[in-house]
Structure 1
Amino acid sequence: MWRYFLPTRVFSGSGVLKINQTVFKENGTKALVVTGRSSARVSGALDDTIEILMNLDVPYVLFDGVEENPSFATVEKGGKIMGENDCDFVVAIGGGSPLDAAKAISTLNKNKGITCDDLYRGDSLAAFPIIAIPTTSGTGSEVTPYSILTDSNGTKRGFGMSSTFPIVSFLDARYTLTMSHEVTLATALDALSHSLEGEVVNNGDNPLVKMLSAESTAIIHRVLPRLMNRENDLTLREKIQYAAMLAGMVIAHTGTTAAHAAGYPLSSFKGIKHGIANAVTIIKVFERIAQADPERIARAIEPFESIGELEEFLDSFEVQKMVPALTEDEVQRWSEQSSKASHNKKTPGNLDRDFYIDLYRGLGKH
């Protein structure tokens, strides 16, 4: 038995916003435009969106205070602004952080009186319509219900419900051309981790998920090394954007493995890009899974022929050099935290505290 659910309408191609601009008017009467501090502007996506809203006579309010790894405080501030201005839909522009924040902001404002903590009760809450315009190619947030936020303790926490799927997503690879070299790599490796981890969880049970994962992994395997040497090549950008979307569709149905749980503290407390954090933890996690179920890993990583080949691919980008050695206190605290993460339930093998201690102690040795 398997299922497939994707309520998001996806429009893809150069100039896709202007070609399909009536969609903005179909989903509300006043927009809250949610962005980070720079990428939406630098990419041109914010200017294009505001021009369209003005042409359609759709009023809007701009909330451009979303930081990397958005905090509960930022989201609650955005929810207050949305409510005070009577906005009834959200336009999210940027990387995963603005998109994730927008989902939470929309839900908070639809359900008056709740806080960010209430998003994690497991309830199915309503949300105002969300339109997503990604400017990076990695998180797949444009086709998932997930929102990853950072609580007051600095811990990343994720939620998702059917109402927080974007109702519409616009994919225009021109908006990804202004990504830095580092962000281009980190976001693409984030997409790769989604594709691989999602299929580890799926294990071929859902044939559509398997198909999406295999295609996404193959594209990234083939295209990413070329893109890192030709970053202004729009055709290559389009391919990676497509692969990231496919990987998002994968994890929308499966979630991720313990590689994500292991990577979260590196992002939250060391400022390591999320995709890089995944890349430096995934090999150890997959090796442990392979001890329990080698065939599952062999199938999930196709077209990579072995974990060793996957490791060589990641090493070709020198990802290990991007992570510092950890203090013993960090190793102990993060191992305790990661060993209790819900991701472990979806990850075959005994990923106990000792496993994470070994993983974290191995980082920064290159």
Structure 2
Amino acid sequence: MNFSFYMPARVYFGENCIRENREALKGLGQKALVVTGRHAAKAVGALDDVTAALEANGQAYVLFDQVTPNPTMDLVYRGAEIARQEACDFVICIGGGSPMDSGKAIALLAGEDLPPERLFTGPYTGRVLPIAAVPTTAGTGSEVTKASIITNDAAKTKSSINYEGIFAAVSFCDGRYTQTLKHATTVDTVVDALSHAVEGFLNVHASPLTDLLAGESIRRICAALPAVAADTLTLKDRENLLYASTLAGMVIANTGTTAVHAMGYELTYFKETPHGRANGYLLPALFHFYEEKQEKKLNQCLSYLGMETTEEFQVQMEQLLGRPEYRLTAEEIRTYAEIAIQAGNIKNCSTAPDKEDLVRMYTRALG
């Protein structure tokens, strides 16, 4: 048995974890750039909790609340410029995937002057501002990953900064911050977390430890799916989902994602499909791909899901997400497959698909 597992983020989990552990912010710096969207972090109380902790610690802060869904390169370069102008020496990201991704990229760009053509490839020098993360959705897992996903118009997709330097130094996970999510957002983000756990399990880099974490994440998510579908989640349910999302984040921090993410980014870029929903449309097609190639591992995954067949899983996803609002043309499928096959995470599949496999998966899911 040989494997490596790396997880440098310190995680504080539970109700009021920011207030009770505010001293953990003291070692990060003297002045924070607080990166968030315009509304959600304020509405759920997360922003108030963060600023109260900073003020109690005697730390200054500047608010950058301009993050929009699917953040662009222009946005993160603008945020980094503000961080430099204001002499901020650490970053706090509050929100779902978009603020987390933005904050990590801003922390990287504020520390070193990277031209756009090197943003996703490096090399990086290691001059990254320390990062604290406060998730307000149970889905992204970004509070414990080394990835930042940014819209890449030049490549007509979303691209990943994949760099150990952008792991959060400290993360605060409080289920209360997810309580006011709209039902559709809850569904989309839960499916994203499930996708992370499943993709990390059906992965060439999977290890006994990541499999253990992925299995626990899948079981907890599946136990909550009836309440997710019915929109009857309790605070305890939401805490369990946030915990499951964090576990899944630890998994993909070590394995990476796979073809579902590579393919899903095209649905988000071209069709504006929310990220988790795009993954949910494609996951059953990935299962069908694995039926002949990785039957034993797929059956293990299905057992964690409490199911016996891929068809059962497909029905579950359709009940949760509904049928897609669009179908793809043959030309769109070819275009998306051409882009997706170039993504590095394709190689993370325990059996790597080729371009024609991607065409078949897109066709099965959305053709």
Give the structure-1-normalised TM-score: 0.94
Q: Render the CA deviation track for 1:63-108: whole Å, top value 9, x for unaligned.
A: 1111111111100000000000000000000001111111111011
Greater CA drift, 223-232 or 289-298: 223-232
CA contact (8 A) 1:326 1:363 kept: no
CA contact (8 A) 1:90 1:129 kept: yes
Structure 1 residue identity aligned to 2:79: G
Correspondence list, 1:10-21, <5 A: 10-21=11-22
5+ long unaligned stretches in structure 2: none
CA contact (8 A) 2:8 2:167 kept: yes
CA contact (8 A) 1:224 1:240 kept: no
Q: Is 1:307–2:307 an aligned residue pair?
A: no
Structure 1 residue identity aligned to 2:104: K
- Distance, in Å, in 2 between the alignment partners of 1:345 and 1:75 is 28
- Distance, in Å, in 1 between the alignment partners of 2:217 and 2:116 is 33
Structure 2 residue identity aligned to 1:289: Y
Q: Is 1:135–2:136 an aligned residue pair?
A: yes
* Aligned-pair CA distance for 1:318: 3.6
- Distance, in Å, in 1 between the alignment partners of 2:21 and 2:352 is 49
Structure 2 partner of 1:24: 25
CA contact (8 A) 2:17 2:173 kept: yes
Say which SS state the counterpart of residue 150 (structure 2) adopts.
strand
Correspondence list, 1:116-265, <5 A: 116-126=116-126, 127-153=128-154, 154-202=156-204, 206-231=207-232, 233-265=234-266
Structure 2 partner of 1:316: 319
Greater CA drift, 219-228 or 115-124: 115-124
CA contact (8 A) 1:227 1:233 kept: no
* Aligned-pair CA distance for 1:37: 2.0
- Distance, in Å, in 2 between the alignment partners of 1:238 and 1:96 is 18
Say which SS state the counterpart of residue 63 (structure 1) adopts.
strand
CA contact (8 A) 2:281 2:324 kept: no
Say which SS state the counterpart of residue 67 (structure 2) adopts.
coil
Structure 1 partner of 2:345: 343
- Distance, in Å, in 2 between the alignment partners of 1:173 and 1:197 is 24
Q: Is 1:57–2:63 an aligned residue pair?
A: no
Structure 1 partner of 2:114: 114
* Aligned-pair CA distance for 1:43: 1.2
Say which SS state the counterpart of residue 228 (structure 1) adopts.
helix
- Distance, in Å, in 2 between the alignment partners of 1:176 and 1:318 is 19
Say which SS state the counterpart of residue 131 (structure 1) adopts.
strand
CA contact (8 A) 1:144 1:249 kept: yes
Greater CA drift, 193-202 or 305-314: 305-314
* Aligned-pair CA distance for 1:208: 1.3
Structure 2 residue identity aligned to 1:114: L
- Distance, in Å, in 2 between the alignment partners of 1:364 and 1:293 is 23
Say which SS state the counterpart of residue 202 (structure 2) adopts.
helix
Sequence identity of aligned pairs in percent? 37
Structure 2 residue identity aligned to 1:331: I
Say which SS state the counterpart of residue 302 (structure 1) adopts.
helix
- Distance, in Å, in 2 between the alignment partners of 1:229 and 1:293 is 33
* Aligned-pair CA distance for 1:18: 0.5
- Distance, in Å, in 1 between the alignment partners of 2:47 and 2:348 is 38
CA contact (8 A) 2:132 2:168 kept: yes
| Alpha-carbon distance change, 226 to 120 in structure 1, aligned in 2, over 3 angstroms | same
* Aligned-pair CA distance for 1:364: 4.8
* Aligned-pair CA distance for 1:349: 4.5
Say which SS state the counterpart of residue 5 (structure 2) adopts.
coil
Name the Cα RMSD after superposition.
1.8
Q: Render the CA deviation track for 1:1-27: whole Å, top value 9, x for unaligned.
A: 111111000001111111111122221
Q: Render the CA deviation track for 1:14-57: whole Å, top value 9, x for unaligned.
A: 11111111122221000000001221111111122112222222
Structure 1 residue identity aligned to 2:89: D
CA contact (8 A) 2:36 2:95 kept: yes
Q: Render the CA deviation track for 1:152-181: whole Å, top value 9, x for unaligned.
A: 334210122221110000000000011110
* Aligned-pair CA distance for 1:332: 2.3
Correspondence list, 1:32-51, <5 A: 32-51=33-52
Say which SS state the counterpart of residue 65 (structure 1) adopts.
strand
- Distance, in Å, in 2 between the alignment partners of 1:56 and 1:346 is 43
Q: Which of 313, 325, 328 is matched with 2:327 structurally?
A: 325
* Aligned-pair CA distance for 1:232: 5.1
- Distance, in Å, in 2 between the alignment partners of 1:165 and 1:225 is 33
- Distance, in Å, in 2 between the alignment partners of 1:197 and 1:364 is 20
Q: Render the CA deviation track for 1:279-319: whole Å, top value 9, x for unaligned.
A: 11111122112222211222234323332222222122144
* Aligned-pair CA distance for 1:120: 2.4
CA contact (8 A) 1:35 1:92 kept: yes
